[in-house]
Structure 1
Amino acid sequence: MQKSFSLDGMNVGETATIRQLNALELPSKFFEMGLLPGTVIEVKHKAPFNGPIGIHIHSSNVLVAIRKSEATHILVER
């Protein structure tokens, strides 16, 4: 069984499935955008100097940018 790790640990081009979100640390807009457990995502861009991370949400075909500090609260699994 694969171990979960935070989204900010992924590299550009990697695909993973969301396993858990820390709902107390994330705004509700994340759930409205489709970032839910079981959703497949792909990292499309990582800005330098701890900048935003661009992720593609496969189920809704949407590209969103989230803060690195928010990405640490999203656990994914390859």
Structure 2
Amino acid sequence: MQKSFSLDLLKVGEKAVISKLNAAELPSKLLEIGLLPGCTVEVKHKAPFNGPIGLHILNSNILIAIRKSEATYILVEK
């Protein structure tokens, strides 16, 4: 069994499966577009100085950017 860690720790180009979200801390818009447990995501871009993280949600073929502070509430497994 792999250990879960927060999404912000992934490097550019890495893929992972979302295992758990803290929905109370995330905007509902992220859930509505398909950022849900069981989805596979790939980190496409990481802005410097704790800027936004560009994600490709592979299940729905959507590219989004989220704040690093929001990414800490999303747990993933490789």
What is the TM-score of this pair, normalised by structure 2? 0.98
- State the AA in 2 paired with 1:47: A
Aligned residues: CA RMSD: 0.4
| Aligned twin of 2:2 | 2
State the percentage of identical aligned residues.
73
Per-residue CA distance 1:23-49 (angstroms, 9 max, x = gap): 110011111110000000000000000
CA distance, structure 1, for counterparts of residue 63 and residue 33 of structure 2: 10
Give the total of aligned pairs: 78
- Gaps spanning 5+ residues in structure 1: where? none
Task: State the alpha-carbon separation in 2 of the partners of residues 12 and 18 from structure 1.
Answer: 16
- Is 2:43 aligned against 1:43? yes
Match of residue 69 from structure 2: 69
Corresponding residue of 1:12: 12
| Secondary structure of the structure 1 residue equivalent to 2:41 | strand
Query: Any idea what SS the aligned residue of 2:50 has?
Result: coil
SS at match of 1:24: helix
1-side partners of 2:33 and 2:43: how far apart?
16
